[in-house]
Amino acid sequence: GQQVMQIPQYQHVQEGEDFTTYCNSSTTLSNIQWYKQRPGGHPVFLIQLVKSGEVKKQKRLTFQFGEAKKNSSLHITATQTTDVGTYFCAGADSWGKLQFGAGTQVVVTP
């Protein structure tokens, strides 16, 4: 079955630095979604990528979908303390069912 792997599992970042988290699927995805979960909170939808090679930006966050639709990345520039949380990618199959990666837990040092 479909498996979604996410790396790194933990990311310690100095405030102001950039970092990237990566997501890889064992199968071609219909689309990929990214969610953010703040400490003690619930996952909140950030963005969805559908097209091969698609790049989308949300302020300091840049999301990319690979050409083969099997991988994705989230790049955050100039990290702020508000970026703290766990970022999940989730690959969707043709039925819309999501397979979540294990998440990247981001800790920001002021």
Partner 1 sequence: DADVTQTPRNRITKTGKRIMLECSQTKGHDRMYWYRQDPGLGLRLIYYSFDVKDINKGEISDGYSVSRQAQAKFSLSLESAIPNQTALYFCATRGREALEQYFGPGTRLTVT
Residue 45 binds to partner 1 (criterion: CB under 8 A) = yes
Residue 43 binds to partner 1 (criterion: CB under 8 A) = yes
Residue 96 binds to partner 1 (criterion: CB under 8 A) = yes
Among 31, 64, 72, 79, binds partner 1 (CB under 8 A): 31
Q: Which of 106, 75, 72 is nearest to 89 (CA)?
A: 72
Give me the least distance between CB of 93 and partner 1, in Å please.
11
Residue 42 binds to partner 1 (criterion: CB under 8 A) = yes
Residue 90 · residue 104 · CB < 8 Å: no
CA angle at 41 for the pair 90 and 88, rounded to the nearest 5°: 20
Amino acid in position 19: F
Give me the least distance between CB of 20 and partner 1, in Å please.
19
